[in-house]
Every structure is written in structure tokens, then in C-alpha cells.
Amino acid sequence: MLPNFRKAFVSGVQKHHSRFFSASQTSARKGLVLGVYEKDKEDNRNNGVFTEAAAAFDRSVSGKLSEILSVSGPPLKKGKSRMFYGLHQDFPSIAVVGLGKKGAGVCGKEYWDYSKENIRSAVAVGCRQFQDLEIPHVEVDPCGDSQSAAEGAVLGLFDYNEFKSKKSTQVTPQLHGSGDAKAWEKGVLYGEGQNLARRLMEAPANHVTPTIFADTIEQKLFPFSDRVTVHKRAKAWIESEQMGAFLSVAKGSDEPPVFLELHYSGSPDTNQAPLVLVGKGVTFDSGGISIKPASGMDAMRADMGGAATVCSAIVTAAALKLQVNIIGLAPLCENMPSGKANKPGDVVKAKNGKTIQVDNTDAEGRLILADALCYAHNFNPRAIVNAATLTGAMDVALGSAAAGVFTNSDWLWEQLHKASVVTGDRVWRMPLFQHYTRQIAESALADLNNIGKYSRSGGACTAAAFLQEFVTASHWAHLDIAGVMSNKDEVPYLRKGMSGRPTRTLVEFAAALASGS
């Protein structure tokens, strides 16, 4: 008897309010995302616990939302949603989303804030439902954390379809009710920053060459030209800087290399030592003469993920007006197997004078980063952080759970780790033992070997040890982001495709430096 009552009740409510839904056809269609927490064991309510905004909405419709929710099915689980229609004249469509347990907070084992992650995931689910219904305007319940709600909405709605005839509906999410507007706007900027990195990484390599990449970032930074200087260094400049390792990779392609240099002056103290962010910018990686298998090679359009995340983080820092000085460096090139390309066994010289035996041309990222890291020291940096989709071994080690961090600084590790707990885009510390340094120092022809003595063992660690040979700064960290380059279904609020990780963690890290926390 209860199922029949439930069916009749839901039908009756929707018919009773159909005039509201019909009226909405003549005005702009608008949706509303509202949150509900899982009920406590002692709680007798059948529909969970509403957020403040959801409870206010329920009162505005005389309790009909709680009534219809209680008979529409079992209590909403975390990350699930349920749609209702015709309850309110201003919002013909309403998505109620499950937020999990209220006040879940930071988990010491998972190293992230469950409350924030639950909000991001739930809001993303609700917003996507409206996108599928082609409803362009959506108001979002702040769910007690306006920034996380905004991040979930902006990240969840991103869909790369620039070369498809059929486009997804462009949805504009807005803050609902009396949430924190400043925190919402901050979350929007965080999400848009990561989406910029996703867009760059997802784009076909013939549409994002080194030159186009640099031009795109310059365009994104143009609104902040009072605080940002952009230098797009051409091949002649790279040669004058004696960046032989970078040039050795670039020479295999007909696309000219670009050394992109960004200066963001956000601190009122012009003498403040800058944070230097360095990103690997291989806009397509064929592997060179040591060519990759054809299967999956198309994903190597995203081998500039390090440069994409670093540059997007600086764009976001500028939009947020963070009071910190940041310099971004991105060596941009392609790795192609032409007659001019590096050959296995070639020896090249880096900017600091060290010679490198190139035994595998597919280990090219460390070559271009070597010269960029040397150059980074010219700015007397407060810290150097580089990001790179560097090794498949990193994906094997950690998968997509976290980016690997190799660092010579406990302080820097702590700052990056704290930032990642906030963003949910985690990092995990990896070893920089002399054990690995000895392996890359054994070379028959040069000072260093670009793949090390045992090429298949500890590949991510030997790659990091190689980079350390070009670092003298006391605070340096290398983020190997190969494992987090793409998303299948691991991060609920990101669609399948290139992830843009860990852009928000880099922004949060810079924001903490700016605030002095």
C-alpha cells in the first residue's frame, strides 16, 4: 500500500504545481541545487537533514520538499541526486543532492577534507543534471562552504567539445541564498583556473603548438598587465642562454621552441624573493627516435600538463590578486622523430655545463626541465616548484590518487601537503635517496645518463634524482603528475578526460605563502 501512496502523492504534488512549471516556459528556465546530509542513527526523519538553504526553501513551500523527498525513495546517499518539478514558481526544477555526513571534516588517513570533497562532488552531480536538461541558469546551495560549492559547480560543468558540432549546454552557476559571496567567487576562480589547464591539455596538438600555448597564456594574462609581464623567448634567446639540453629535444620538430617566462608582481614588497614555478611543456611527445607505441599516443598531447597547470595557477593567482611574487617558466617544444632528432647515445650539454648521455629520447622531459631549473636560480627564489608529466613509473607507483612530490625541503613539503588537504587534490612524498643519484651518475660517455643504470627500476625516483643535479636552491620540489594527468571516474566532480591537476593545489600553496600562514 505504501508504494501506491508514494506514487499518488508524488504525482499529485507535481500536478498541483504544474502551473508553476508551465509559467516557467515563458521566462528564463532556472534550476536550483539543494543539499541534504545523511541522517544520524538516532534521527527518526526519513529524508535526512537539510542544509540551511534547503531548510529555508522547504519552509517557503510549506514543507512540501521534505514531504515529497520522504516518499520518493530511500534517503539520499553521498554523491547521489534526485530531481523534483513544479514546487516553486521561480525554480521549476530542483535537484536535491546527498552531502554525506554533516561535519565529516579532515580525515587523518585519507589526508583530505571529506566535507569539502562531498560538497564538490554533490554539487557537480546536481549541476550536470541541469546541463543534461539544457537548463542554462542554476543557483547553487552553498552547503556551508561557498568556495567548495563553486569549485564543484565550475569543475563539474566543464566539457571539452570545441571541435564537435553538438555542444553541451552552457550553464551559468550562481550562489543561492545568503552564502559567502567572496568565498563563492574565489571558488569560481579556482575552478576556472583548473579548467584552463584542462582545456590546454585536452586540445589537439595541432591546435596547441608551443607558439599557440604561449600566445594563449599571454592573452589570459592581458587583463592583469599592470601586475604581469610576459616574455616569449625565441630560439635565438634559448641558444644565447646555452640551453643545450632543451634545444636537443626541440630540434627534432619543425615547430619552433618557445621559452615562456611569466612575472607576476603581487607583493607590495618589490624586493620579496619570488616563488618560481617551472612546468614541462612538451606539447606533443612521440617519444622521438625511441618512439612510443601507437596505442594511446594521442594522449601525449597533454604532455605539457606541467606547463598548463603552472601557467594556469599564475593566471589564477593574478585574478585573485594574491600578495606574492611568482615567476613562471615553461620550456615549450615538441618531441618528434625527424632526421634532426636526438639519437640514443647522443651527448648534450646543459646550461650548467653538465653533459648528459641521452640513452632514451623518450626521457625528454627531464632534459628540457634541466635547463629551466638552472635558469630559475637567476631570480634568487624563495622556493622552486616544478611540475611535469614526467614518468609512467609515477602512474604505476601511485596511480591517480596523488601527485608524487620529491623535495629537499621539509618546510616545502609541509606547505604543499597542507594545501592539498584543503583542495582534495592530494600530493604524496617520495624519496630522493643517494641510491638513485648514483644510478644516473653512471654513464659511459658523459657526466649523467638520462635514464639511469636500471631503466625499469624506480623510474620516477631516478628521474627526480636527475633533476636534482640541476638544483642548488635549499627549497625545491618536483611534482611528477603523470599519474594524475587524466581522469576516468576517480574524481567524481571531473568528467572523463584530462584533469588539470594539481592546479588548485598550486594556487592554494601560493595563497598560503601570500597570507604568511
SS3 34: strand
| Host domain of residue 49 | 2-177
- Percentage, residues of the chain above pLDDT 90: 89
Q: Where are the beta strands (DSSP E) in 314-369?
A: 325-335, 346-349, 355-358
Q: CB neighbours of 90 closer than 8 A, spacing ≥ 6?
A: 30
Phi and psi for 209 in degrees, rounded to 5?
-85, 175
Instruction: Give me the mean pLDDT over the 246-260 stretch.
Output: 98
Does pLDDT of 440 surpass 70? yes
Instruction: Give me the mean pLDDT over the 300-305 stretch.
Output: 98
- Residue 63, in any domain of the structure: yes
CB 416 within 8 A of CB 505: yes
**Which one, of 456, 448, 453, lies nearest residue 435 by Cα?**
453
Confidence of residue 323 (pLDDT cuts 50, 70, 90): very high
- Residue 26, in any domain of the structure: yes
Residues 217 and 164 in one domain: no
Reply yes or no on whether 366 is catalytic: yes
pLDDT of residue 60: 95
CB 197 within 8 A of CB 312: yes
d(CA 473, CA 382): 9
pLDDT of residue 45: 55
Instruction: Give me the mean pLDDT over the 383-390 stretch.
Output: 98
The overall average pLDDT reported for the chain is 93
Confidence of residue 250 (pLDDT cuts 50, 70, 90): very high
Confidence of residue 454 (pLDDT cuts 50, 70, 90): confident
CB 509 within 8 A of CB 415: yes
Among 177, 203, 224, which residue terminates a domain? 177
Q: CB neighbours of 429 closer than 8 A, spacing ≥ 6?
A: 404, 405, 406, 407, 413, 417
d(CA 212, CA 209): 5
Residues 220 and 298 in one domain: yes
Among 177, 206, 228, which residue terminates a domain? 177
Among 142, 177, 212, which residue terminates a domain? 177
User: Where is pLDDT greater, at 110 or 7?
Assistant: 110
Angle at alpha carbon of residue 331, lines to 330 and 332, rounded to 5°: 100
Residue 437 to residues 34, 393, 467, 472, Cα–Cα distance (Å) = 53, 17, 10, 15
Write the pLDDT tens digit of every residue in 118-153. 999 999 999 999 999 999 999 999 999 999 999 999
Cell of 486: 587524466
Does pLDDT of 22 surpass 90? no
Confidence of residue 516 (pLDDT cuts 50, 70, 90): confident
- Residue 186, in any domain of the structure: no
Instruction: Give me the mean pLDDT over the 402-419 stretch.
Output: 98
- Cis bond leading into 3, ω under 30°? no
Residues 147 and 221 in one domain: no
Instruction: Give me the mean pLDDT over the 366-381 stretch.
Output: 98
Task: Give 3-state DSSP helix, strand, coil % of the chain, rounded to 5.
Answer: 40, 20, 40
pLDDT of residue 24: 40
Residues 125 and 201 in one domain: no
pLDDT of residue 15: 43
- Percentage, residues of the chain above pLDDT 70: 93
Residues 299 and 418 in one domain: yes
Name the residue with cell 516557467: 24
Residues 167 and 211 in one domain: no
Instruction: Give me the mean pLDDT over the 14-25 stretch.
Output: 41
Instruction: Give me the mean pLDDT over the 306-317 stretch.
Output: 98
pLDDT of residue 376: 98
Please pick, among 102, 120, 366, 501, the residue that the annotation labels catalytic.
366
Residues 208 and 123 in one domain: no
Does pLDDT of 503 surpass 60? yes
What separation, in Å, do the N-terminal and C-terminal C-alpha atoms of the chain show?
60
CB 136 within 8 A of CB 127: no
**Which one, of 131, 60, 150, 120, lies nearest residue 93 by Cα?**
131
- Residue 182, in any domain of the structure: no
Residues 259 and 154 in one domain: no
Q: What is the pTM of this model?
A: 0.94
Does pLDDT of 513 surpass 50? yes
The DSSP element (H or E) to which 254 belongs, if any, is none
Q: Where are the beta strands (DSSP E) in 308-418?
A: 325-335, 346-349, 355-358, 383-388, 403-407
Count of the separate structural domains present in the chain: 2
Residues 64 and 160 in one domain: yes
**Which one, of 194, 205, 149, 178, lies nearest residue 55 by Cα?**
178
CATH number, domain with residue 60: 3.40.220.10
- Residue 403, in any domain of the structure: yes
Residues 173 and 198 in one domain: no
Write the pLDDT tens digit of every residue in 341-372. 999 999 999 999 999 999 999 999 999 999 99
CATH number, domain with residue 475: 3.40.630.10
- Residue 187, in any domain of the structure: no
pLDDT of residue 39: 83
Confidence of residue 413 (pLDDT cuts 50, 70, 90): very high
Please pick, among 39, 80, 251, 292, the residue that the annotation labels catalytic.
292
Confidence of residue 154 (pLDDT cuts 50, 70, 90): very high
Residues 112 and 242 in one domain: no
Name the residue with cell 597564456: 217
Confidence of residue 456 (pLDDT cuts 50, 70, 90): confident
Does pLDDT of 40 surpass 90? no
- Residue 229, in any domain of the structure: yes
- Residue 183, in any domain of the structure: no
Reply yes or no on whether 29 is catalytic: no
CB 491 within 8 A of CB 462: no
Residues 282 and 251 in one domain: yes
